[in-house]
Chain A
Amino acid sequence: MLIKGETGDWEVVIGLEVHAQVISNAKLFSGAATAFGADPNTQVALLDAGLPGMLPVINRYCVEQAVRTGLGLKAQINLHSVFDRKNYFYADLPLGYQISQYTQPIVGKGSIVLDLPDGSSRTVGITRLHLEMDAGKSLHDQHPSKTYVDLNRAGVALMEIVSEPDMRSPEEAAAYLRKLRAILRYLGTCDGNMEEGSMRCDVNVSVRRPGGPFGTRTETKNVNSIRYVMMAIEYETNRQIEILESGGTIDQETRLFDTVKFTTRSMRSKEEAHDYRYFPDPDLLPLVLDQAWVDEIRSTLPELPDEKKARFMEQYKLSAYDAGVLVAEKASADYYEAVAKGRDPKIASNWVTGELFGALNRLGKSIEESPVSAADLGGLLDLLADNTISGRIAKDVFAAMLETGKSAAVIVEEQGLRQVTDTGAIEAAIDGVLAANADKVAEFRSGKDKLFGFFVGQVMKQTQGKANPALVNEILQAKLKG
């Protein structure tokens, strides 16, 4: 995507660093719990508080989760990786360093395929994934002159997933985050909940002339929603173009997203003299993995969004777009497959992506919270398929299902919505309509074809919409001709 500037076109270059909290019972290097929302400092082991003489011992499951994620990102798994100390001082960093992986991460190069709104796809490179421990939480608003520190989160395992600078628009960045989140959720390695902070994003942005060399980038830290990521990119892009066009230069710096003004601002205070003095953590030995173990994890990987999409296109003959929409969340895909089973897959897809998603969107509910179960939606489609109800009635029945939670069959029965297929009854209705509108019949016969719809509408009205539309058409045609 090119951006028009005063002095010509610009292109934005975006790379994302995502911190994804690993789903595990215990922390990366201590036996304290990871659950969200506990009372302050109740999920803190002696190591997490940085007490003297305490030592880290790595959690095997966190390693497994990182490997699983690496495999899900089609990435290289490094059988030999090293934990380093990243040294800096902060009130919520009890050890005075973060145990992380610097030069030898557990996962190397991989890739993510983005599904873009126009149905096309685009591959974004993954540079690396490494394991590290989270810091605690500082609360600045609890006391007028003090900052309070809660170490419950300190030591929880994070995966830092770094992309290549392969994205070229805020929309692509959003698509990347959605896809990454979907993969993590499919894998069960991160819940992807950005509100609770279990997925956080640092946004690297630079601009350049199309095809030219990369410009200087800024890094906007800890942006905690996809919407904010898009806003931060938008703002940074414009800011940088403005500076460059007025003859200025971009400082390579860390910035902060302002969630009130939707702007970014420099964090110079934190930037000063950053020198993390990385070195291998002497309390830990190199992490060496067994290829057989990695293969075992690979063999238990679930079907991931891309494979599922391909299968949906193949098996259900869905369009790339529809398949992409359905597999975006594993729960949606599962829901769809339950509905599609033994039914017309195309109709199932239309109902799930159309009526159901639209309704859920309006209600602000997730697929897991859907008031209509997949079985019930399937029941509705069955009534449609065997002509018990018409397509129009089906929409009303679906609305009633959303409202009441009752099954389609019950609603149809209760409200007498069964479709009228008795030709005699339909003929009678048509006769009535034609008799009452003799003038219009004459107009039709003199060539005003458009009036056909009017007659259909009148007949449906007469039958409270229950008449089988195909029969109505057929009989009406015959009678009007006659």
Chain B
Amino acid sequence: MSIDKATVAKIAHLARIKVPEDEQERLAGELNQILHWVEQLAEVDTEGVEPMTSVAAQTLRQREDVVTEGDIRDQVLANAPDRAAGFFAVPKVVE
């Protein structure tokens, strides 16, 4: 499997990171180098092996249905780059 410029553009878009076109080639090269290296995993026989889903050998702990948080709007909004009338504000989204 090999990454080309178009793939770099596609994943950069998925990841919402602007990659100027003149950097796509170089990045494709770097990513291919890493991918080629990790592809040695194909050698490992994993027939019948379950993928590891959690390191800790335990099951999911559950909490009670009690309201314990909230009413901290000032804290929630304190670090916002743009806010108004108790909302976060972002450039207008046209649907």
Inter-chain contact B62/A148, CB cutoff 8 Å: no
Task: Point out the residues of chain B lying under 8 angstroms from A63, CB to CB.
Answer: 62
Q: Which residues of B contact A57 (CB under 8 A)?
A: 61-63
Give CA–CA (A40, B68) in the complex, Å: 18
Chain A 5-40: CB-based contact to B (< 8 A → 1; otherwise 0) = 000000000000000000011100011110000011
* Contact residue among A140, A151, A269, A288 (Cβ-Cβ distance under 8 Å from B92): A140
**Nearest CB in chain A to that of B77: its residue:** A41
Q: Are A25 and B67 in contact (CB under 8 A)?
A: yes
B88 touches A59 (CB 8 A): no
A42 to B70: give the CA distance in the assembly, Å.
6
In the assembled complex, the CB of B85 is this many whole angstroms from the nearest CB of chain A, namely 7
Proximity string of chain B (59-88) to chain A, C-beta cutoff 8 Å, 1 when within and 0 when not: 111111111111111011100001011111
Task: Knowing A30-B69, A63-B62, A269-B95, say if A149 contacts B89 (CB, 8 Å).
Answer: yes
Q: Which chain B residue lies CB-closest to A277? A: B14
Q: Does B53 contact A286, Cβ atoms closer than 8 Å?
A: yes
**Do A143 and B89 touch across chains, with their CB atoms under 8 A apart?**
yes
Asked if B58 is at the interface (CB within 8 A of a chain A CB), the reply is yes
A322 to B90, CA, bound (A): 53
Q: Which residues of A contact B90 (CB under 8 A)?
A: 91, 146-147, 149
Tell me the bound Cα distance from A32 to B90 in angstroms: 24
In the complex where A25-B65, A26-B66, A147-B91 touch, is A142 in contact with B58 (Cβ < 8 A)?
A: no
Give bound CA distance, A194 to B86, whole Å. Answer: 26
Taking the complex as formed, is B93 at the interface, i.e. its CB lies under 8 A from any CB of chain A? yes
Q: Residue on A with the closest CB to B68?
A: A31
Cβ A146 vs Cβ B89 within 8 A: yes
Q: Is B56 an interface residue (CB 8 A)?
A: yes
A62 within 8 A of B: yes
B13 contacts A by Cβ under 8 Å: yes
Q: Is the CB of A45 within 8 A of B69?
A: yes
- Output the nearest chain B residue to A33 by Cβ-Cβ distance: B67
- Which of B10, B85, B91, B93 is most buried by chain A, counting CB atoms within 10 A of its CB? B93
Contact B84 A32 (CB under 8 A): no
Pair A59/B62 contact, Cβ less than 8 Å: yes
Cβ of B64: which chain A residues have Cβ within 8 Å of it? 59-61
**Do A60 and B62 touch across chains, with their CB atoms under 8 A apart?**
yes
Contact indicator B95/A146 (Cβ below 8 Å): no
User: Closest approach, in angstroms, between the C-beta of B16 and any C-beta of chain A?
Assistant: 5
Query: Which residues B23-71 have CB closer than 8 A to chain A?
Result: 53-54, 56, 58-71
A282 on the B face (CB < 8 A): yes
User: Which of A59, A142, A275, A284 is within 8 Å of B63, CB to CB?
Assistant: A59
Q: Are B58 and A285 in contact (CB under 8 A)?
A: yes
- Check A401 for interface membership: any CB of B closer than 8 A: no
The residue in chain B whose Cβ has the minimal distance to the Cβ of A41 is: B73
A150 within 8 A of B: yes
Whether B65 pairs with A26 at a CB distance below 8 angstroms is yes
B 1-29 contacts with A by CB, 8 A: 10, 13-14, 16
In the complex the two chains form, is B93's CB within 8 Å of A91's CB?
Answer: yes
Q: Given the complex of chains A and B, what is the CA–CA distance between A218 and B94 in angstroms?
A: 22
In the assembled complex, A89 has its CB within 8 A of some CB on chain B: yes
Which residues of the other chain, B, contact A151 by a CB distance below 8 angstroms? 76, 88
Judge if A58 is at the interface, Cβ distance under 8 Å: yes
Report if A42-B71 is in contact (Cβ < 8 Å); known contacts: A60-B65, A151-B76, A280-B53.
Answer: yes
Bound complex: CA A60 to CA B59 (Å): 13
Residues B59 and A285 in contact, CB atoms below 8 Å apart: yes
Q: Which residues of B contact A419 (CB under 8 A)?
A: none
Given contacts A91-B93, A146-B92, A150-B87, is CB(A44)–CB(B70) below 8 Å?
A: yes
The distance from the CB of A45 to the nearest CB of chain B, in whole angstroms, is 4
CB distance from B60 to the nearest CB of A (A): 4
Interface string of A58-100 (1 = CB under 8 A from B): 1111110000000000000000001000000101000000000
Bound form: Cα–Cα A286–B58 in Å: 9
Which residues does chain B contribute within 8 Å of A269, judged by CB atoms?
Answer: 95
- The answer to whether A299 has its CB under 8 Å from any CB of chain B is no
Interface residues of A in 44-59 (CB under 8 A from B): 44-46, 49, 57-59
B1 to A: closest C-beta gap in Å: 16
List chain B residues, Cβ under 8 A from A256: 95
Given contacts A41-B77, A57-B62, 19 further A-B contacts (CB under 8 A): A25-B65, A26-B65, A31-B63, A31-B70, A40-B73, A40-B85, A44-B76, A46-B69, A46-B75, A57-B61, A59-B64, A91-B90, A140-B95, A145-B92, A149-B87, A267-B95, A269-B95, A285-B56, A285-B59
| Contact sample, A vs B, 6 pairs, CB 8 Å cutoff | A25-B65, A25-B67, A26-B66, A139-B87, A148-B84, A270-B95
